[in-house]
Amino acid sequence: MTSTSTNEAARSATSDHLLEIPALSLVVLVGASGSGKSTFARTHFASTEVLSSDFCRGLVADDENDQSATKDAFDVLHYIAGKRLAAGRLTVVDATNVQPDARRSLVGLAREHDVVPVAIVLDLPERVCIDRNAGRADRTFGANVVRRQSGQLRRGLRNLKREGFRTVHRLTSEADVDTVTISRTRLYNDLRHETGPFDVIGDVHGCRAELEDLLVALGYEATRDAHGHPVNARHPDGRRAVFVGDLVDRGPDTPGVLRLVMGMVADGSAFCVPGNHESKLLRAMRGQNVRVSHGLAESMEQLAGESEEFRADVVRFLDGLISHYVLDGGALVVSHAGLSERLQGRASRRVRAFCLYGQTTGETDEFGLPVRYPWADDYRGQAMVLYGHTPVPTPEWINNTMCLDTGCVFGGRLTAVRYPEREVVSVPAARVYYESAKPFPPASPAPGADTLRNPQLQAVAGGPRQATRREPDVLDITDVAGRRVVETQHHGRISVREENAAAALEVMSRFAVDPRWLLYLPPTMSPVATSTRSDLLEHPDQAFDAYRAEGVGAVVCEEKHMGSRAVALVCRNLAAARDRFGAPGDASGAVWTRTGRPFFGSDVTKRLIERLGQAAESAGLFDELATSWLLLDAELLPWSAKAEDLLRHQYASVGAAARTALPAAVSVLEQAATSGLDVTPLLERTKSRQANAEVFTAVYRQYCWATEGLTGVRLAPFQLLASEGASHHDKTHAWHLDIADRLVAADGALFTATRRTFVEVTDPEAVGVAAAWWDDLTSAGGEGMVVKPAANLVRGRRGLVQPGLKVRGRDYLRLIYGPDYTEPVNLERLRQRGLNHKRSLAAREYALGLEALDRLAHGEPLWRIHECVFAVLALESEPVDPRL
């Protein structure tokens, strides 16, 4: 921020009655006791923004006037202020702050958190302060205290700037204080309101011709002056360029590059941040003593041939460049040398130094150049960071960051990234203009024309070329351990408890498939509200009522296959699997359960993936979707393929015991009745239990059959979750089911269709037909159906609508609640089941799954995707009735 002098600020306060302070700053109120600091703070700031030394003294001593507690009180104040500043919240310190030591510690706190320190000085006449204190019962000190504080204040006024305050506002009368208005201004680096689209351009280094070529490749149209010099360039679709700095030095036409970029910035068609070369050139043009090296001599010589007016414009332009920009609501950060998360959107010398020079280890390499610390390897921020500074032969995504300096001036390429598309566009250098002190390797040759709609496959002017993609880093346990908060687009912040994270870590580390495959876990699903029908626990009517209440007009009822939920990732071939996912174990895909565990061993999985890939190829899905992989949500049949142990030790043992014991009990009771004993109620109850047991056994048996390898295994896909560059939750369920039908048509021996019916919930006749269809399904032994909004992802009157409600049949529910759950006394008790927690869990897991798919489609790093996947698994540890 540009500072305002003390006198200028004082004049502003009395004439315009406006004090401007940065929206992110540490505001230090300075004034003697009785000057009205607390009243001023209450008037102009939220109560939560103000930290009072008196209040903190009361916290630690139960007495706001206990001066013996002052040290502890300020320890508390500094701690709270530090927490607020770390969170990016404006903080106001209400204390006298007339002593230099008190102010020095606060300026140090502001520097520690890279925020702007602002002083608002209430320099009121001593008599005003003394009279105010005399009228307050809690002020027991005399006028001498006020006189001493006023003297300390006036002696320190001239030093406030030297102490480190960026802005000082001085109020000298009661009228000043009463008429002032506070205006919060954005930091100059805060362009979150600028949403793009943008074209972020790497280090130009005086290569004006290549810059023109790149702008043409990006679709910009140049404007030239009377001498034929390009002085502006606009995009017909309103896109804007963002330059990452190092426009100057080394190349053949630094003035030409500056003329073009300055024109674009002035016109509003571009933004620009400074590089270290701009910083050095500015100092040199101002006559400061700088070392003329690394191409500065060439720039100075070229600029010497320009007019004095042009050189003055260059100085003004370079002087006005801001260290970095935060764009698109905080989703994009552009800086010359990159920027770690904690410094983004902040303002300090440390921030500017990082932006200009990056982080170094303090060492130099064999070429005499500083060794750069690889900050991007440790980056875990949510914003995409695009930067330059350190030339690389080929751009690569590293933890949602990319270096765009591809060494144009060294004979490499000039590179840009289209945002938000994440497409890389580059043009080759005409020749080597400057020999690098460190040998610059040539870019790798183009691999061919097999270009897919893939954030990692980059469009390059002159032909397709693939940017290298770094092998996914080893996941850091700190990414998932402890209490976590995950930001989601569709459900806001979702918290994960520490104990749930620990349980998920156990499952993930011991049993799950390789995390490079594990891109998604399906959410739990809530059942419908309890039916009002006397003999049923669940019925479709409640599903239709629920969606009708949310304003959802059309739904689809899908047959619920009694199997195991399965997610399948299939790649077109091994080469695609290796390129996109690293192909763990040289596999072309994987199939996993709701908890991330593999269904089969590697051999069976390999054969299953091959069949999936062949079917997708035959159905034309890879070509149609321009992708090398598909992620499918499905049901794998039979149930026994995964749950054989569960069946044998839980369901089969219950059925066998009941079929053995209950007939014998019925026989004994019948003999007792024949002998004249009144056992009729017990006999009827036992016969009912025997019938229930027979139905229970029949139900689970029809969901089981023998399999050997893939023989007997069936897969019922119902949704295409994602493909390269796209998550498909914006497609209707009709579209997804059509994809599934095409797979069934391609391989009917493996795939099985999902029967469905579409319903308008406001049409009583259609609702009745759908309910009858459910009746037929369940009467024939089917599990039931799932009712979903036909449009797929829907927001209703109360937020995110449940993605599906399961409606299970009367007989199937015996497996869930026990053979005798239909007995009236049991059924009545079960009607009291609570569904709120289950619904909340289903909504949160659904949002996390959507977030994982969106991050996958946007090409974000594995740890960002895995954060959401892990959170779904962690939420599964929340205590909720497992029968729901």
Query: pLDDT per residue over 59-70, tens digit each?
Result: 988 887 777 888
Task: State residue 469's pLDDT score.
Answer: 41
Judged against a pLDDT cut of 80, whether residue 693 lies above it is answered with no
Task: State residue 472's pLDDT score.
Answer: 44
Tell how strand 554-560 and strand 756-760 pair up.
antiparallel
End-to-end CA distance of the chain: 57
Tell how strand 714-723 and strand 629-637 pair up.
antiparallel
Task: State residue 1's pLDDT score.
Answer: 43
Of 781 and 326, which is predicted with more confidence? 326
The whole-number average pLDDT for the span 505-514 is: 83
CB atoms within 10 A of CB 143: 15
Which phi and psi (to 5°) does residue 758 adopt? -95, 140
Count of helices and strands (H, E) across the chain = 29, 38
Percent of the chain with pLDDT over 70: 89
Which phi and psi (to 5°) does residue 302 adopt? -65, -40
Of 4 and 696, which is predicted with more confidence? 696
CA distance 259 to 241: 15
Task: State residue 502's pLDDT score.
Answer: 86
Judged against a pLDDT cut of 70, whether residue 341 lies above it is answered with yes
Question: Residues 438, 391: contact at Cβ < 8 Å?
Answer: no
Judged against a pLDDT cut of 60, whether residue 705 lies above it is answered with yes
Percent of the chain with pLDDT over 90: 52
Angle separating helix axes 254-267 and 208-218, nearest 10 degrees: 40
Task: State residue 378's pLDDT score.
Answer: 80
Binned at pLDDT 50, 70 and 90, residue 445 comes out as very low
Which tokens hold the place of 231?
């002085």
CA distance 658 to 819: 9
The whole-number average pLDDT for the span 197-219 is: 96
Task: State residue 381's pLDDT score.
Answer: 87
Judged against a pLDDT cut of 90, whether residue 368 lies above it is answered with no
Q: What is the strand order of the sheet 564-571 is part of? A: 589-592, 564-571, 629-637, 714-723, 726-727
Binned at pLDDT 50, 70 and 90, residue 720 comes out as very high
The whole-number average pLDDT for the span 329-358 is: 94
The 3-state DSSP class for residue 643 equals helix
Task: State residue 480's pLDDT score.
Answer: 78
The whole-number average pLDDT for the span 729-735 is: 94
Question: Residues 275, 185: contact at Cβ < 8 Å?
Answer: no
Judged against a pLDDT cut of 80, whether residue 6 lies above it is answered with no
Would you call the peptide bond into 22 cis, given omega within 30 degrees of 0 as the criterion? no
Binned at pLDDT 50, 70 and 90, residue 361 comes out as low
The whole-number average pLDDT for the span 89-100 is: 93
Q: Is the dihedral of CA 282, 288, 294, 300 positive or negative?
A: positive
The 3-state DSSP class for residue 8 equals helix
Of 348 and 861, which is predicted with more confidence? 348
Of 346 and 293, which is predicted with more confidence? 346
Question: Residues 571, 617: contact at Cβ < 8 Å?
Answer: no
CA distance 153 to 143: 15
Binned at pLDDT 50, 70 and 90, residue 668 comes out as confident
Of 373 and 246, which is predicted with more confidence? 246
Question: Residues 118, 27: contact at Cβ < 8 Å?
Answer: yes
Task: State residue 675's pLDDT score.
Answer: 84
Task: State residue 651's pLDDT score.
Answer: 64
Task: State residue 192's pLDDT score.
Answer: 95
The whole-number average pLDDT for the span 616-636 is: 94
Judged against a pLDDT cut of 60, whether residue 884 lies above it is answered with yes
Judged against a pLDDT cut of 70, whether residue 85 lies above it is answered with yes
Highest mean pLDDT range out of 262-266, 872-876, 880-884? 262-266
Binned at pLDDT 50, 70 and 90, residue 447 comes out as very low
Which phi and psi (to 5°) does residue 105 adopt? -65, -30
Which tokens hold the place of 183?
């205006």
- Location of structure tokens 């490749």: 217
The whole-number average pLDDT for the span 713-729 is: 93
Q: Dihedral of the CA atoms 150, 172, 10, 15 (nearest 10)?
A: 180
Mean pLDDT for the chain overall: 86
Q: Structure pTM?
A: 0.65
Judged against a pLDDT cut of 90, whether residue 672 lies above it is answered with no
Task: State residue 461's pLDDT score.
Answer: 39
Question: Residues 737, 751: contact at Cβ < 8 Å?
Answer: no
Binned at pLDDT 50, 70 and 90, residue 429 comes out as very high
If residue 281 lies in a helix (H) or strand (E), which one and from where to where? helix 276-285
pLDDT tens readout for residues 557-578: 999 988 889 999 999 999 999 8
Of 880 and 57, which is predicted with more confidence? 57
Tell how strand 401-403 and strand 384-387 pair up.
parallel
